Structure 1
Amino acid sequence: MWVVATAGHVDHGKSTLVRALTGMEPDRWAEERRRGMTIDLGFAWTTLPSGSTVAFVDVPGHERFVPNMLAGVGPVPAAMLVVAADEGWMPQSAEHLAALDALDVRHAVLVVTRSDLADPGPATAQALDRLAKTALGTSVEAVAVSGATGAGLDELRAALDRLGAALPPPDLDAPVRLWVDRSFTIRGSGTVVTGTLGAGRLAADTELELAGSGRTVRVRALQSLGAPVSAVGAVARVAVNLRGLDRDAVGRGDALVTPGRFVVTDLVDVRVHGDPVADLPAEVVLHVGSAAVPARVRPLGTGTARLRLARPVPLHVGDRALLRDPGRHRVPGGVTVLDVAPPELRRRGSAAARAAELSELDGRPDAAGELRRRRLVRAPELVRMGVPADGVTAVAGDWLADPEHWAALRTRLVSEVDRYAAAHPVDPDVPVDAVRQRLGLPDRALVEALVTPPLIVRDGRIGSGRALPERLRKAVDAVHADLRREPFAAPDARRLAELGLGPKEIGAAVKARLLLRIADGVVLLPDVADAAVRTLHALPQPFTLSEARQALRTTRRVAVPLLEFLGRRGATRQLADGRHTTDS
């Protein structure tokens, strides 16, 4: 179990308490020990009476170091809030509690220190009253201790055991998002980063991505609680030795993530918990994980806003973060991420429409809801948003569709095919790409997936399977009558013109497989190739063009392209002397 150890003033005996509990020094810097004040994040751990391990992220209490404090709070599921019996509730206590509330931390133990210097009762009552008005509620256990004398430490250890037992189990199958709070180099090993693994698992040789850079790295080695491990599951404090990443390329606020499992974005729509959205400053700092990112606020509606971040960060729908107003040294509220890939707001009234849409969202990942809003989305994109696509059937490839939208598209497709056929009676089959553009679809595979009988897709076009127009059909029937008498006497240009068969009409008849075009202006019956091969095969092999022309009872105009056509199909072969043969 990892717990944030947070105090409401400079220290309130917090570091002394952590030392007494763990026997470890949480203050890493000599300056911290000299001044008796936590400046940066410290780490310590111990074994509880139950045999489980509790580990502490010791965070600063002074207001000057609140950003450091927030970097340690983000990934940790529980808190040990420390208040001094002789000083009581302090302004920084309120800011730390506001941060915990903004991040929706629901598990904590209250420790009233310096109980050897003053009656802990008033400070305990005051603190519990403040905690009851936050996400922590009224179930927080309080323990009075003295780090100096050791009084109450056994009771605190027992309370920490009960706190650990009450925590929900971490999601070990979740993708990794390790927020980095330290990075350094070890000679002979290379770059090492530390952070709190809030979900998922890490193991040696795990592939990760430095979010926002596109750079892929591998885990060379791992440590947890100061000891080498081959694998570790959440929640855990880890030191990760990385292969393929320079020390200068990574630092506090960066994140190592499972590739392809997060949207790295600088634009999010959020629900704000705390101050009214209209009262938020135009510029705030968004604290998420160990990152502190400046952001511009655009109010959208009651309780919702759009944040434009100074740099992209890896986020999921449902993530909790907090807003800090650095100018006034306060936390105006927390946020729940509603959309990590929001639409642009360009048209007049689009912000109000967006606010109405967001008003129905609560930040819980919902595949059906996302499909209703997005209409079409690829499954990997939904997964990157943190929205499981389980149970949703793809309509084409990895494309997912809202059922109502998909049905409407199918209706529109039929209308588009009918409209095109009415405008192009000779060539009524509409190109797939033309339909794609008319329906506003991003992929032609979606168009083809929409086609159902009696519509068919053939040669990149969609047709209804209807017969040719009556005038064209009569003209084709006349050609058939001519060719049945002389199968290789293709009608000449005058005959085609007399029948009204221009290039478009011939193209339509060819597409309907009623004619075979072997060259421009040269058409025969569709099954003529087999008859031609039989006739030519009966000739002495090899044979000349003239001999073929006479056997087929046709002209050179037809014989030349017909032999070329048969040659392309492999039915005949032209020899070096110009003669032909049907022998393979």
Structure 2
Amino acid sequence: MELKRFILATAGHVDHGKSALVRALTGTDPDRLPEEKLRGITIELGFAQLELRMPDVLLSIGIVDVPGHEDFVKNMVAGVGSIDLALLVVAADDGWMPQTEEHLQILIYLGVRRIVVALTKIDLVEAADAAEEKVRAQLRDTPFGDAAILRTSITTGSGVEELKAQLVREFSALVPQRDLGKPRLAVDRAFILRGIGTIITGTLVGGTLRRGQAVVVQPAKIPARIRTIQNHNREVEAIGPGTRTALSLPDVAVAREKNTLGVWRGDVITLSEFGEASAIADVMLSRSWRLPMKMRSIKHGAAVRVHHGSANFNARVFFQTSEELRAGETAIAQIRFEGPVFLFAGDRFVIRDASEQNTLAGGLVLDPDASVRNFRNAAQREFLAERAQAPHDAGVFAATEIGRDRAVKRNALVVKSSFSADEIAESLKSANVIERGELVVDAKWWNEFLRQAEATIDVEHRTHPNHRGLALSELRQALARELPLPEVFDVL
């Protein structure tokens, strides 16, 4: 039987029955903290496992249950960053509430493509059709206008089996997350287990991790080695993308607080060859048109809180061509973080205000290794504009990198991108480039560079006709200012 793995996350307003619905679906209580039991609300992320069967296919679904209270939105964002499907929970008696709306906007900002709506507590209302139509009206002008709405009641048990059947239909139409050969695991828990050592948990994306493999904890660049891997309490030799997992990293301490040595919630477990963290990123920012009129615009230079993966960071936002970003608008911007952040081009994130009271915007990383100096120059403007038009096109990604930098190492096109090495290699076949060993050079620039080299030699011959020629060291020096990489001269 074929095994397909997916991640589902709940979303919705506090006390609308998200955790109760997860219990009904899985038999597992996702609320694990004493305070959660006492207050009857979810505070931290909760986790459960659901297995559903299709003919010849077993669906293994990791469920992330997120808090709905407005005080814990930052924890909600940490839980929905790498999911395949969202389960938006709306209580029939309360209807559409503030955190229902905020969670919906976050799902859109993070690029979640499909949702299923669970209309809970249906036994508490008489006009069920009216309650469903109100939810449908809220979704009508969103990417989820055709989402299935299932009426459920935990009290009577009605609708739970129908919801499972709908989840089977949804997941059967989805393709499991791709293995790009670039594993990244955003840490959402880190703790010490007596007799074992440091354990971290998170959702793996982008690639496969194996027992015994050397990894690095970013952004602090702490080396580590995986001793064991668990998936829903089962030890495994390897784990692929789109999977909830726990890793034993015995040679890494758990940090006592953020920015101290050790692993911490929000860190990323990855491989050392995928570059380093950066404190500046050029991005495309978008604000929902559904924001309330009283919500102020984001001003140039505003202090914000950026949520990426399971982490959140202090930062400032600077716009390339405008002084502010209003509801319904999109703009190219630069985010300057207080410290290094491990990002890939194509990553999505959410921006909230510095006091964590409101969700302001969502964004897409265009250049994860940007600089203040180049942000507004012509080459970077063109680079960002082209990437913003087709952020998921490997050909555009490679062409913009080569066009701006003129020559790049082949590996640089793969590192910190959302594409596999094979996808980049395929895109180069139809690109106007010249490949020389590990270098990929813009063909137009290369031909101009050759002419310039020839002209430099000709000038030397005319000026000094009795000389035997121009030494390579002299030619290198004459062309040094034109070289994007020192290695370019070696293949000249």
Q: What TM-score results when the alignment is normalised by the length of structure 2?
A: 0.85
Which of 406, 431, 437 does residue 375 from structure 1 map onto? 406
Shift of 1:39: 0.4
Shift of 1:173: 3.8
Shift of 1:33: 1.0
Pick closer, same or farther for the CA change 1:45–1:413 going to 2, 3 Å. same
Measure the CA separation in 2 of the matches of 1:69 and 1:319. 18
* Contact 2:190 2:199 (C-alpha < 8 Å) held by counterparts: yes
Shift of 1:434: 3.6
Counterpart in the other structure of 1:316 = 344
Pick closer, same or farther for the CA change 1:266–1:129 going to 2, 3 Å. farther
Counterpart in the other structure of 1:385 = 416
* Contact 1:2 1:55 (C-alpha < 8 Å) held by counterparts: yes
Shift of 1:112: 0.8
Which of 104, 109, 113 does residue 97 from structure 1 map onto? 104
Shift of 1:436: 3.0
* Contact 1:18 1:44 (C-alpha < 8 Å) held by counterparts: yes
Counterpart in the other structure of 2:315 = 295
Counterpart in the other structure of 2:325 = none
Counterpart in the other structure of 2:44 = 40
> SS of the counterpart of 1:65?
helix
* Contact 2:215 2:224 (C-alpha < 8 Å) held by counterparts: yes
More helix by share: 1
CA RMSD of aligned residues (A): 2.3
Larger CA deviation: 52-61 vs 25-34: 52-61
Pick closer, same or farther for the CA change 1:416–1:14 going to 2, 3 Å. same
Residue 155 of structure 1 aligns with an amino acid whose one-letter code is: E
Which of 156, 172, 181 does residue 165 from structure 1 map onto? 172
* Contact 1:371 1:377 (C-alpha < 8 Å) held by counterparts: yes
Larger CA deviation: 216-225 vs 301-310: 301-310
Identity between Structure 1 and Structure 2 (%): 36
Indicate whether 1:204 and 2:211 are aligned: yes
* Contact 2:229 2:235 (C-alpha < 8 Å) held by counterparts: yes
Counterpart in the other structure of 2:293 = none
Measure the CA separation in 2 of the matches of 1:123 and 1:317. 41
Shift of 1:344: 4.4
Counterpart in the other structure of 1:258 = 271
* Contact 2:380 2:404 (C-alpha < 8 Å) held by counterparts: no
Q: Structure 2 regions of 5+ residues with no counterpart?
A: 1-5, 256-261, 290-295, 322-329
Measure the CA separation in 2 of the matches of 1:188 and 1:64. 36
Indicate whether 1:267 and 2:313 are aligned: no
Indicate whether 1:138 and 2:145 are aligned: yes
Q: What TM-score results when the alignment is normalised by the length of structure 1?
A: 0.72
* Contact 1:436 1:443 (C-alpha < 8 Å) held by counterparts: no
Counterpart in the other structure of 1:345 = 373
Residue 271 of structure 1 aligns with an amino acid whose one-letter code is: M
Cα displacement string for residues 495-517 of structure 1 (whole angstroms, at most 9, x for unaligned residues): xxxxxxxxxxxxxxxxxxxxxxx
Pick closer, same or farther for the CA change 1:445–1:72 going to 2, 3 Å. closer
Measure the CA separation in 2 of the matches of 1:128 and 1:293. 35
Measure the CA separation in 2 of the matches of 1:328 and 1:314. 22
* Contact 1:177 1:256 (C-alpha < 8 Å) held by counterparts: yes
Cα displacement string for residues 153-212 of structure 1 (whole angstroms, at most 9, x for unaligned residues): 110110111121122221124310100000001112111100011332122112211122
Larger CA deviation: 429-438 vs 115-124: 429-438
Indicate whether 1:430 and 2:456 are aligned: no
Residue 307 of structure 1 aligns with an amino acid whose one-letter code is: I
Measure the CA separation in 1 of the matches of 2:215 and 2:456. 47
* Contact 1:201 1:233 (C-alpha < 8 Å) held by counterparts: yes
Measure the CA separation in 1 of the matches of 2:10 and 2:342. 26
Measure the CA separation in 2 of the matches of 1:42 and 1:402. 49
Counterpart in the other structure of 1:446 = 488
Cα displacement string for residues 512-561 of structure 1 (whole angstroms, at most 9, x for unaligned residues): xxxxxxxxxxxxxxxxxxxxxxxxxxxxxxxxxxxxxxxxxxxxxxxxxx
Counterpart in the other structure of 2:77 = 70
Shift of 1:242: 1.2
Measure the CA separation in 2 of the matches of 1:270 and 1:346. 14
Larger CA deviation: 261-270 vs 111-120: 261-270
Number of paired residues? 445
Cα displacement string for residues 22-60 of structure 1 (whole angstroms, at most 9, x for unaligned residues): 111100101101111100000112222534233310100
Residue 381 of structure 2 aligns with an amino acid whose one-letter code is: A
Measure the CA separation in 2 of the matches of 1:168 and 1:433. 54
Larger CA deviation: 43-52 vs 77-86: 43-52
Bigger-Rg structure (1/2): 1
Measure the CA separation in 2 of the matches of 1:279 and 1:432. 57
* Contact 2:407 2:484 (C-alpha < 8 Å) held by counterparts: no
